[in-house]
Amino acid sequence: MKPGTATQIATTPPLQTDAPTNFDLAVVGAGSGGFGAALAAARLGARVVLIEKSDSLGGNAARGGVNNWEPGVGGTGIPFDLYKRLKRIPQAIAIYKFGRHYAWQGPEVNPKFPGGEQVIDPDARYLDTLRRFGAPPLPQAEAFRRAHWHGVPYEPEPYAAEMERMLAETGRCTVLTPRAFTGAQARGRRLESLTLDDGSTVTARYFVDATADIHLARHLGCRTTLGQEPRTRYGEPSAPREPNDRLNGTTLIYRISRRDKAAPAIDPLPADIPSRCWWADSFPHAACTQYPNGDYNINALPVMAGRETASLGYLPAYAECRRRIVAHWHHLQSVFPEFQAYRVVWVAPGLGVREGPRLIGRYVLTEHDLIAGLSGQTHDDLVTIADHARDTHGADTGRAGTGELTQPYGVPFRCLLPSEFDNLAVACRGASFSSVAASSCRLSRTMMQLGQAAGTAAALATQQGLDRFDALPSADLRASLKAQHVELSWPRPPELVAYLHHEDA
Ligand SMILES: Cc1cc2nc3c(=O)[nH]c(=O)nc-3n(C[C@H](O)[C@H](O)[C@H](O)COP(=O)(O)OP(=O)(O)OC[C@H]3O[C@@H](n4cnc5c(N)ncnc54)[C@H](O)[C@@H]3O)c2cc1C
């Protein structure tokens, strides 16, 4: 899509300025959560508008450079559909296995690999990417991780383009880019319409806030929070004693490619960029993930403390991270000569922000849910399952390393529902999670499935003539998600395994 144009990609008539347009569902933000919501609802017959402020779809999973789905349960509904589409395009998507890792290299290896390496595994299948839980802590975890952890690297442009096609094929989704909402009109507990930055108005029966930083919910005055809750709030074992403003670290991701014919070299460091690390004695480790074409995605963990990003503001934080990754790349090439055969070919246009404001909704997912897991949770409205570790980046978060889980846990639909409104759901990393739970729950495929749940709920509620999300029986929502091949239980049902095998042939 060309910047500066509002794009209509479906068969529904274009919106016209000054002409209020009525939809069953309006979704704000077209990242993982927003895409899942819009597609699920449109596939079930709802008339949907998807409003995205940047000029392309995919959010952090495309523009933010996170061109990789981490291993984990869930991931079987819309993410699998997207995977199957991308598999038809040469070098658009693949599956990785672990290569080298500094924690698994003995003293005889010098220098050690400056992080973790993930390389394409042509023999792995999608099913292999659907589990993380059960890993012992580093460094003992090598055998387990090599056996069980496979992620899904992909090219961001076909990823975003395929999202557009999938939405367009429904014939019921209008995508507006680049468009942001500038106002919202509510009556009592109902949100009625949004004003967009071109002056137009969008009216809908249901709304989904998928803006990551929950701009719509905050604009409407919903109860939200930022930073780490104290242990006294929810009794979480990993929570700090006092509340604080610490946030999971920020990363600006970059891509490297082999030099064609040029001799290996260390790229020069501009005079105004220091060669020393910006915060501690050593540069952060990096996750170096191979793209299907052999390039590498470099994700330094992290480049900036989350609260520094929040206090600087987005554009100054992006500029500072841009400087820091030049120093990081210089460091990689200096300590590890193999990188001298590569050059930087791309820097993500979006800053990778892992954590921001979060809703305090009708239920707050906490570390207790993560620890209890599916075998201990008693909620009847679980709509997504996940098993990623409690996972923060950067010493500033005050939490050491990762806390792997022993079984998958579920996310209740109530985590998406603000207490203040009946027809609004929040389906993005800013949903109702504690800071500890958010560090686990935030992965791209999990967000896409939260979106799938919200979109499905909006479509079913519309079909049933309901005015509020919470009037929809949970059993109806879960039954529809299961019919869409969304994984909601563990062990994985044999029919789901058979479906995944069959479809991934
Ligand atoms: C550095 C980093 C590395 C990560 N690594 C991995 C990984 O390896 N694997 C993995 O699975 N996950 C990873 N994650 C997590 C995951 O990528 C994100 O948490 C997830 O993609 C967030 O999805 P989302 O839908 O909540 O938000 P986003 O993808 O951020 O989407 C929000 C969208 O809303 C739009 N928007 C914002 N405001 C407005 C507005 N006012 N009007 C209209 N649109 C608006 C934005 O432009 C954006 O497109 C990583 C995250 C980071 C930051």
Domain that holds residue 266: 254-347
Q: Mark whether 189 and 49 lie in a shared domain.
A: yes
Does residue 175 sit within a domain?
A: yes
**Which residue bears the tokens 């509020």?**
468
Q: What is the mean pLDDT of residues 88-110?
A: 95
* pLDDT for residue 353: 95
* pLDDT for residue 402: 67
Residue 61 Cβ < 6 Å to ligand 1: yes
Structural domain total, the chain: 2
Q: Are 252 and 352 in contact (CB under 8 A)?
A: yes
- Tens of pLDDT, residues 298-342: 999 999 999 999 999 999 999 999 999 999 999 999 999 999 999
Does residue 146 sit within a domain?
A: no
CA-to-CA separations, 37 to 117, 228, 401, in angstroms, rounded: 33, 28, 32
CATH number of the domain to which 431 belongs: 3.50.50.60
Q: What is the mean pLDDT of the chain?
A: 93
Sequence-distant (6+) residues with CB within 8 A of 409 are 369, 370, 372, 373, 374, 377, 385, 386, 387
Alpha carbon of 59 to ligand 1 centroid (Å): 5
Does residue 121 sit within a domain?
A: no
Does residue 117 sit within a domain?
A: no
Q: Mark whether 438 and 388 lie in a shared domain.
A: yes
Choosing from 129, 216, 442 the residue with most ligand 1 atoms within 8 A of its CB, the one to mutate for a pocket test is: 442
Ranges 149-153, 271-275, 442-446: which has the least confidence: 271-275
Q: What is the mean pLDDT of residues 154-159?
A: 98
Q: Mark whether 313 and 194 lie in a shared domain.
A: no
Does residue 454 sit within a domain?
A: yes
Residue 112 pLDDT exceeds 70: yes
Report the atom number in ligand 1 closest to the C-alpha of 60: 29
CA 483 to chain centre: 24
* pLDDT for residue 414: 98
Element (H, E) at 32: helix 32-43
Sequence-distant (6+) residues with CB within 8 A of 110 are none
- Tens of pLDDT, residues 116-126: 999 999 999 99
Ranges 13-27, 68-82, 485-499: which has the least confidence: 13-27
Strands 286-290 and 296-300: antiparallel
* pLDDT for residue 16: 43
Q: How far apart are CA 413 and CA 426, in angstroms?
A: 10
Residue 19 pLDDT exceeds 60: no
Residue 284 Cβ < 6 Å to ligand 1: no
Residue 433 Cβ < 6 Å to ligand 1: no
The neighbour count for residue 152, using CB atoms within 10 Å, is: 26
Domain limit, last residue, from 306, 328, 347: 347
* pLDDT for residue 400: 58
- Tens of pLDDT, residues 438-459: 999 999 999 999 999 999 999 9
* pLDDT for residue 13: 42
Q: Mark whether 283 and 343 lie in a shared domain.
A: yes
Q: Mark whether 207 and 280 lie in a shared domain.
A: no
Does residue 38 sit within a domain?
A: yes
Alpha carbon of 72 to ligand 1 centroid (Å): 17
* pLDDT for residue 15: 42
Residue 17 pLDDT exceeds 70: no
Report the atom number in ligand 1 closest to the C-alpha of 289: 8
Q: What is the mean pLDDT of residues 36-52?
A: 98
Q: Mark whether 376 and 479 lie in a shared domain.
A: yes
Choosing from 444, 445, 450, 452 the residue with most ligand 1 atoms within 8 A of its CB, the one to mutate for a pocket test is: 444
Domain limit, last residue, from 347, 367, 393: 347
Which residue's C-alpha comes closest to atom 37 of ligand 1? 211
Domain limit, last residue, from 347, 368, 402: 347
* pLDDT for residue 505: 83
Residue 130 pLDDT exceeds 80: yes
For residue 363, which amino acid is it? Y
Q: What is the mean pLDDT of residues 5-25?
A: 52
Does residue 44 sit within a domain?
A: yes
Q: Mark whether 360 and 343 lie in a shared domain.
A: no
- Tens of pLDDT, residues 377-399: 999 999 999 999 998 888 778 77
Alpha carbon of 496 to ligand 1 centroid (Å): 28
Q: Mark whether 290 and 391 lie in a shared domain.
A: no
Does residue 98 sit within a domain?
A: no
* pLDDT for residue 282: 83
Q: Mark whether 364 and 328 lie in a shared domain.
A: no
Residue 29 Cβ < 6 Å to ligand 1: yes
Which residue's C-alpha comes closest to atom 41 of ligand 1? 180
Residue 18 pLDDT exceeds 80: no
Q: Mark whether 375 and 483 lie in a shared domain.
A: yes
- pTM value is 0.95
> Would you call 492 exposed, middle or buried from its count of C-beta atoms within 10 A (0-12, 13-18, 19+)?
middle
Q: Mark whether 424 and 488 lie in a shared domain.
A: yes
Q: Helices 78-87 and 444-463 meet at what angle, rounded to 10?
A: 120
Alpha helices in 179-272 (DSSP H): 215-219, 231-234
Helix (H, G, I), strand (E, B) or coil at 307: helix
Share of the chain above pLDDT 70, in %: 95
Alpha carbon of 335 to ligand 1 centroid (Å): 32
Residue 446 Cβ < 6 Å to ligand 1: no
* pLDDT for residue 84: 98
Q: What is the mean pLDDT of residues 210-235?
A: 97
- Tens of pLDDT, residues 347-376: 999 999 999 999 999 999 999 999 999 999
Alpha carbon of 60 to ligand 1 centroid (Å): 3
Residue 129 Cβ < 6 Å to ligand 1: no
Q: What is the mean pLDDT of residues 283-288?
A: 94
> In residues, how long is the chain?
505
Q: Mark whether 310 and 360 lie in a shared domain.
A: no
